[in-house]
Amino acid sequence: MTDLRKVNIDGKEYEMPGRYTLMQACEEAGAEIPRFCYHERLSVAGNCRMCLVEWVGAPKPMASCAMSLNDLRPNRDGSPANIRTNSDTVRKAREGVMEFLLINHPLDCPICDQGGECDLQDQAIGYGRSETRYDEDKRAVEEKNMGPLVKTVMTRCIQCTRCVRFITEVAGVEELGLVNRGEHAEITTYLQANLTSELSGNVIDLCPVGALTSRPYAFSARPWELRKTETIDVMDALGSAIRVDARGSEVMRILPRLNDEINEEWISDKTRFVWDGLKRQRLDKPFVRVNGKLRPASWDEALATVAEKLQGDPDKIGAIAGDLADMESVKALKDLMENLGVRSIDCRQDGAHIGEQGRSGYIFNSGIAAIEEADAILLIGTNPRVEAPVLNARIRKAWLEGDAQIALLGAKSDLTYPHTYFGNAPSDLESLSTKKHPFITAMRKAKNPMIIVGMDALSRADGAQILRAVGKLAAEWKLVREDWNGFNVLHSAAGRVGALDLGFVPLKGGMNTGKILKAAQSGELDTLFLLGADELPMDQIKDTFVVYLGSHGDAGAHRADVILPGAAYTEKNASFANTEGRWQQTRAATAPKGDAKEDWKIIRALSDHAGRTLPYDTVQDLRKTMSTPKDEVFDPAKLGAAGKIKAAVFAPSSRSFWFTNPIARASEVMAQCASAQVTQLEAAE
């Protein structure tokens, strides 16, 4: 950018782009500007007045968030405009603003959940007067209902409207608003309805005061008591950066961390509020089924029982890895099974037809951040709002800021942005490119065209045929170029890409999930090893001996003959590859529950018992054996298999957003959200 402006900030001269706001310029110059309403990822409101700076010569201080360097004119002698961020005028202005903000703010910090991490508290110390001069009555505002997640104490609200702007701009549902005016202004939803956004929890972080706080976390801990662990999330396949706050052995809350490549600074409500599921339905000791009943057992007994079963005919043994399986345990299990001669292993418990034709065929090739560069996006058989709400916000951003055109072929749903709807018949994919439609033209001409295909499409019986049709579209529209790869698979399981990267798919002559289940139904399968796989039709498994290794007592554990208690994602240092194929690691925030161990260690111990000791003793040694598959030349047109796509339409996903994995199903908060959603839907009808 050549549009550079000279400006003098606190006595030093700088040259900066003219589009910079004064706030950006001052921060660039190293000055600290206090603010409440301004937020980098939201529109500028300029209503808190906390960011005032002095423009020498101007009669009044300036709101630095709402004024750009282009708005400044030089001094009369031609020297650059002087901005002061630490003069007496500025200090006085800040004190004044602070005093006004505190006029109606209650002094209830000792009972406020925001206490200790409150912008208002911090800035009152830093920039406010030392005592109040206000003797009149303070105003009081009624509490507002916003649903089971967001607790409100609206008397504390300072009307910065960050929450309103977030819900409107990022979450894309216009549900919050500022009603009345002046002294009586209040933030509310329409008639106090629940927030329906899957991103609503972010308003808790955005609120600079204690007006919007976390309802499940209410009054349970103070920030300075918590042990903070930076880790990643596994509730969806994005691998959002999170911070897990724990006290003792308990996870108290989950907050987002900044990662511009993936989640910016948002996380979905499932990611944020799932932590109470980490305390319920936990498997804390090994169990062995004796005479039809599970009874606690020692590790040695449980492992010996499993080891004995694994000595059987390797062709009659199967292993399925679930959605939350980490890469270390998947790798260890694969090595063990290979060692035993077992060929029937699979990580696609939903039967998705991906993963055997090269890495580019099953990952989100363009990367999540690149969605912002896309100018035409076609969604096929996916509902990103439910499968990956944060990614959906990114698509919305592409539409809002980049004018991207978006179309959907799949189950109809409210995606929070306008889109062309091509119906929900997958057979239309074959004729889609011949359609005379402005979107198809746009797709052909687009600089950065993008297809996002979801699991609703690929996990159908004819998923391979759909994948071929999608691949053909990608080839025809030249989605794969030297500098751009717009062929994207959106996964819904956190462990899927990692397991595919490690090749946890049927070895030559082995059975896939569907065939394993069929064999289990007909009695041809002796032993089935479930690595945290719970989303299977357990009633189909008849006499097969089932080993379940996982953290929660869900469907898999109920059916199991031996339960090996593993660790949840907050309790282990494990690797996950997100839908982009990005390898990331979780960090243990707490210890595993009871006798539970990290999953790969259990498999390592099991290999010992089975007499097939795996050749690694530490997680570092294990990781050395893991590597991403080399990517061969990618030709999307060759993906999948030829054949006819069935006429059946894409059905709306039967799985609720709140119940996609065992941890979420164990969470009471998720259940509350689901029932609140149902009540609201019924009321609307």
Partner 1 sequence: MASRHLAKEQPKTFAFSAEGEKQVKYWLKKYPKGKQRSAVIPMLWIAQKDHGGWVPEAAMRVIGDRLDMAYIRVLEVATFYTMFNLKPVGKHLIQVCGTTPCMLRGSGDLIKVCQSRIGSAGSISADGNFSWAEVECLGACVNAPMVQVSNSDGDLYYEDLDEASMNALLDELASGKAPIPGPRVDRVTSAPTGESITLTDASLFDGSRAKKLKKIPNAPAKTKKAAAPKKAAPKAKSATGKGGK
Q: Which residues bind partner 1 (CB under 8 A)?
A: 174-181, 184, 186, 188-191
Measured from the CB atom, is 190 or 219 closer to partner 1?
A: 190
Q: Which is nearer to partner 1, 85 or 159 (CB)?
A: 159
Nearest residue (CB) to partner 1, 184 versus 293: 184
Q: Which is nearer to partner 1, 105 or 559 (CB)?
A: 105
Distance CA 169, CA 400 (A): 8
Q: Give the number of other Cβ atoms within 10 Å of residue 635's Cβ.
A: 15
Minimum Å gap between C-beta 184 and partner 1 is: 5
Q: Pairing between strand 52-55 and 62-63?
A: antiparallel
CB of residue 137 to partner 1, shortest distance in Å: 14
User: Minimum CB separation from partner 1 for residue 50, in Å?
Assistant: 24
Query: Phi-psi category of 679—alpha, beta or left, where left has phi over 0 and alpha has psi -120 to 50?
Result: alpha
Instruction: Write the CB contacts of 209 (distance below 8 Å, at least 6 apart in sequence).
Output: 105, 114, 118, 119, 120, 156, 157, 158
Least CB distance to partner 1 at residue 177 (A)? 4
Q: Where are the alpha helices (DSSP H) in 447-551?
A: 455-458, 463-476, 496-501, 513-522
Torsion 116-122-128-134 (CA) sign: negative
Of the candidates 533, 548, 505, 531, which has an alpha carbon nearest to the alpha carbon of residue 661? Answer: 533
Of 178 and 307, nearer to partner 1 (C-beta) is 178
CB of 176 to partner 1, least distance (A): 7
Residue (of 515, 558, 557, 521) closest to 540 by Cα position: 521
Which lies closer to partner 1 via its Cβ, residue 121 or residue 188? 188
In the structure encoding, which two tokens stand for residue 483, read together? 């500098």
Nearer to partner 1, 175 or 245 (CB): 175
User: Alpha helix (H) ranges present in 74-196?
Assistant: 88-103, 119-127, 162-165
Residue 166 beta carbon to partner 1: minimum distance, rounded to whole angstroms: 14
Residues 6+ apart with CB under 8 A from 483: none
Nearer to partner 1, 180 or 522 (CB): 180
3-state DSSP helix/strand/coil percent for the chain, to nearest 5? 35, 20, 50
Q: 142 or 301: whose CB is closer to partner 1?
A: 142
CA-to-CA separations, 160 to 101, 140, 164, 597, 641, in angstroms, rounded: 10, 17, 9, 47, 55
Nearer to partner 1, 78 or 182 (CB): 182
The nearest distance, CB 161 to partner 1, in angstroms, is 11
Q: Which is nearer to partner 1, 196 or 628 (CB)?
A: 196
Tell the smallest beta-carbon distance from residue 173 to partner 1 (Å).
Answer: 8
Q: How far, in Å, CA of 493 to CA of 645, rounded?
A: 25
Q: How far is the CB of 195 from partner 1 (least distance, A)?
A: 11
Tokens matching residue 376: 């035409």
Please name which of 150, 85, 146, 94 lies closest in space to residue 124, comparing C-alpha atoms.
94
Cα distance between the two ends of the chain:
54
How big is the CA angle at 455 (ends 452 and 458), to the nearest 5 degrees? Answer: 95
Largest CA distance in the chain: 95
What one-letter code names the amino acid at 492? S
In the complex, minimum distance from the CB of residue 164 to partner 1, in angstroms, rounded to a whole number = 9
Consecutive H or E run containing 247: strand 241-247
Q: Which is nearer to partner 1, 138 or 444 (CB)?
A: 138
Q: Please give the C-alpha separations between residue 112 and each of 127, 193, 416, in angstroms, as whole numbers.
A: 21, 24, 33
Nearer to partner 1, 32 or 174 (CB): 174
Shortest distance in whole angstroms from residue 375 CB to partner 1: 21
Beta bridge partners, 490, equal: 454
Q: Tell me the C-alpha distance between 207 and 224, whole Å.
A: 19
Least distance CB 143 / partner 1 (angstroms): 14
The minimum distance between CB 414 and partner 1, in angstroms, equals: 13
Backbone angles phi, psi at 190, to 5 degrees: -65, 115
- Which C-beta is closer to partner 1: that of 75 or that of 180? 180
Shortest Å distance, C-beta 381 to partner 1: 28
